C-alpha cells in the first residue's frame, strides 16, 4: 500500500458512508455526558451496571495506585505479577466456580491469546458466525481448522461435527459469545453443552456482555441458562459491566498453566496496572452484593419499558433480557443520518456499520445502563421512532 492508496481507500469509505471517526465525550460514563459542548443522553456505553464511576471502584483504584504505583513495570512472567493480580484471579475463579483464572490485558488480547495458545494445526474450532472479531482473529492466529456454523444453529453445528468425526486428529473447541455483542441475543448454551459432551469437545464462552449482567448472582449467560459448571473456558471482560478495564479466562488449572506458557498476548505484554486490577476486584464486590442484584433488576426493568415503547413499530425483541437493543436500519446513510439527528436532539446512539455487522444489517445499537432514568429513555424511544418513521 502507498499513501495514495490509503487516501483512496478512505475516500471510498467516505463515499459509501462507511468512514469512521472519533467522538470525544467529557465526563464519566454517566447517563448524561457532554458531547461537542452539548449535554446528551448516553445510549451507547457498555457500562451496563453504571460501575465505571462508582466510589467503591475509584477508592480501590486510588488506594492500589498509592501502594503499588501506576504501572506494573513488566509482563507477568518477568516482574509484573503483583498482589492485586493474584487476588483478582482468585476472586474470578471463585466467581465462575472454576479451579483457576488468568488475567489478560483486554478481551481482544484474551480471545486471541486463548485460541492461539491452546489450539494448533491438528485441532478444530467450531465458531458461531456472529462471534466477536477477536474470536475470529484468535481462530486465524491458532492455525487450527475453523468451521463457522450459522448463528446459533445447533443442527448445522452437529452436522459439521458428524462430518469431521471420522478423520478427527486433535482437540475440538466450540467457541461462542454468551451474549452476542451487536444483537444482544444469547447463545443456546444448554444445546452446545449437549454437543460438546456428545462429541468430546471443549466449550469456550466469551461472556464479555453477560458477566455481571445476567444470572441471579451476575455470573453471566451460563448461570442465567443453568449450565455454569458445564462451560470449560469462561472468558469475560472487566471493561463493560464491571466498569474498569482488562479481561480474564476462568477454567481448569492445567489450561491456565498452559496459557501462561503459550498465549502470546499474555507472555509478551506488560501486565495490567495494579490500580486497574484492584478496581476489578472492587467491581466483583458490588456485582456479588445486594446492590449488584438491585442494579441488574433495574437494568432489566428499564429494558422492558424502553422496548415496550418501541415494540409495535419495529423488530426489537420484546422477550430479550440484555441491555443491548439493536434497531435495524439496514443502510449506512440512513443509520448515520439518524444517529446525527438524534445527537441534535440530545441523544447519543452510535450507528453500527460493516464490517462490525454484515452488509444490509446496519443498526442503531442502543445500550442501557442501570443509572438511566425511565423518562429519559421513553423520550429517546419516541425520538428514535420519529427519525426512523417507525
The residues of the shown chain that bind ligand PLP, judged by CB under 6 A, are 106-108, 111, 132, 134, 177, 181, 206, 208-209, 237, 239, 247
Catalytic residue among 219, 234, 240, 372: 240
Is the Cβ of residue 247 or residue 383 nearer to ligand PLP in the bound state?
247
Residue number, 343 or 356, with CB nearest to ligand PLP: 356
Active-site residue 145, yes or no? no
- Least distance CB 313 / ligand PLP (angstroms): 27
As a whole number of angstroms, the distance between CA 187 and CA 203 comes to 12
* Closest to ligand PLP by CB, 14 or 23: 23
Asked if residue 235 lies in contact with residue 111, where contact means CB atoms within 8 angstroms, the answer is yes
Segment holding 8, helix H or strand E: helix 3-15
Q: What are phi and psi of 285, to 5 degrees?
A: -55, -45
User: What's the closest the beta carbon of residue 137 comes to ligand PLP, in angstroms?
Assistant: 10
Give whole-number Cα distances, 144 to 116, 122, 132, 167, in Å: 9, 6, 17, 15
Contacts of 366 by beta carbon, 8 Å cutoff, 6+ apart: 43, 44, 306, 324, 325, 326, 327, 349, 380, 384
- As given in the structure block, the three cell numbers for residue 376 are 429519559
CB 370 within 8 Å of CB 361: no
- The nearer residue to ligand PLP, 132 or 353, going by C-beta atoms, is 132
Active-site residue, 376 included: no
Q: List the beta bridge partners of residue 255.
A: none
Distance CA 149, CA 159 (A): 10
Cell 440484555: give the residue: 322
Least distance in Å: CB of 247 to ligand PLP?
Answer: 5
Q: CA 381, CA 307: separation in Å to the nearest integer? A: 8
What's the min distance (Å) between Cβ of 190 and ligand PLP? Answer: 20
The angle that helices 332-344 and 374-387 make with each other, rounded to 10 degrees, is 130
119, containing H or E segment: none
In the bound state with ligand PLP, the residue whose beta carbon lies nearer, of 309 and 322, is 322
209 is catalytic: yes
State the residue number with the nearest CB to ligand PLP. Answer: 107
> What are φ and ψ of residue 103, in 5° steps?
-80, 145
Catalytic residue among 134, 142, 181, 265: 181
Nearer to ligand PLP, 185 or 206 (CB): 206
Closest approach, Cβ 384 to ligand PLP, in A, equals 22
* Residue 72 beta carbon to ligand PLP: minimum distance, rounded to whole angstroms: 17
**Which grid cell sits at 277?**
486490577
Catalytic residue numbers, as ranges? 181, 209, 240
Amino acid at each position: 500500500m502507498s499513501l495514495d492508496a490509503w487516501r483512496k481507500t478512505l475516500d471510498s469509505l467516505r463515499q459509501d458512508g462507511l468512514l469512521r471517526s472519533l467522538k470525544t465525550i467529557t465526563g464519566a460514563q454517566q447517563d448524561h455526558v457532554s458531547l461537542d459542548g452539548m449535554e446528551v443522553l448516553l445510549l451507547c456505553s457498555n457500562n451496563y451496571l453504571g460501575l465505571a464511576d462508582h466510589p467503591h471502584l475509584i477508592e480501590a483504584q486510588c488506594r492500589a495506585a498509592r501502594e503499588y504505583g501506576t504501572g506494573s513495570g513488566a509482563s507477568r512472567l518477568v516482574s509484573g505479577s503483583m498482589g492485586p493480580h493474584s487476588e483478582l484471579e482468585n476472586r474470578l475463579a471463585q466467581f465462575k466456580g472454576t479451579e483457576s483464572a488468568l488475567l489478560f490485558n483486554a478481551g481482544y488480547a484474551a480471545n486471541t491469546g486463548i485460541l492461539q495458545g491452546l489450539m494448533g494445526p491438528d485441532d478444530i474450532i467450531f465458531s458461531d458466525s456472529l462471534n466477536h472479531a477477536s474470536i475470529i482473529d484468535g481462530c486465524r492466529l491458532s492455525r487450527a481448522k475453523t468451521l463457522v456454523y450459522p448463528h446459533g444453529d445447533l443442527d448445522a453445528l452437529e452436522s459439521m461435527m458428524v462430518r469431521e468425526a471420522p478423520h478427527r486428529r486433535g482437540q475440538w473447541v466450540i467457541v461462542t459469545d454468551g451474549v452476542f455483542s451487536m444483537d444482544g441475543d444469547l447463545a443456546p448454551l444448554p444445546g452446545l453443552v449437549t454437543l460438546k459432551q456428545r462429541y468430546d469437545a471443549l466449550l469456550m464462552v466469551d461472556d464479555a456482555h453477560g458477566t455481571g449482567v445476567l444470572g441471579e448472582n451476575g455470573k453471566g449467560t451460563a448461570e442465567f441458562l443453568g449450565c455454569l459448571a458445564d462451560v470449560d473456558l469462561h472468558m469475560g471482560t472487566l471493561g463493560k459491566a464491571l466498569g474498569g478495564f482488562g479481561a480474564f479466562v476462568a477454567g481448569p488449572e492445567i489450561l491456565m498453566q498452559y496459557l501462561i506458557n503459550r498465549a502470546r498476548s499474555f507472555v509478551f505484554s506488560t501486565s495490567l496496572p495494579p490500580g486497574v486490577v484492584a478496581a476489578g476486584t472492587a467491581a466483583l464486590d458490588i456485582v456479588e452484593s445486594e446492590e449488584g442484584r438491585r442494579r441488574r433488576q433495574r437494568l432489566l426493568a428499564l429494558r422492558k419499558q424502553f422496548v415496550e415503547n418501541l415494540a409495535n413499530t419495529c423488530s426489537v425483541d420484546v422477550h430479550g433480557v440484555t441491555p443491548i437493543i439493536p434497531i435495524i436500519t439496514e443502510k449506512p446513510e440512513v443509520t448515520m443520518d439518524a444517529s446525527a439527528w438524534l445527537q441534535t436532539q440530545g441523544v447519543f446512539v452510535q450507528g453500527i456499520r460493516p464490517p462490525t455487522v454484515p452488509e444490509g444489517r446496519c443498526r442503531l445499537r442502543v445500550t442501557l445502563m442501570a443509572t438511566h432514568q425511565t423518562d429519559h429513555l421513553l423520550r429517546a424511544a419516541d425520538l428514535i421512532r420519529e427519525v426512523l418513521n417507525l
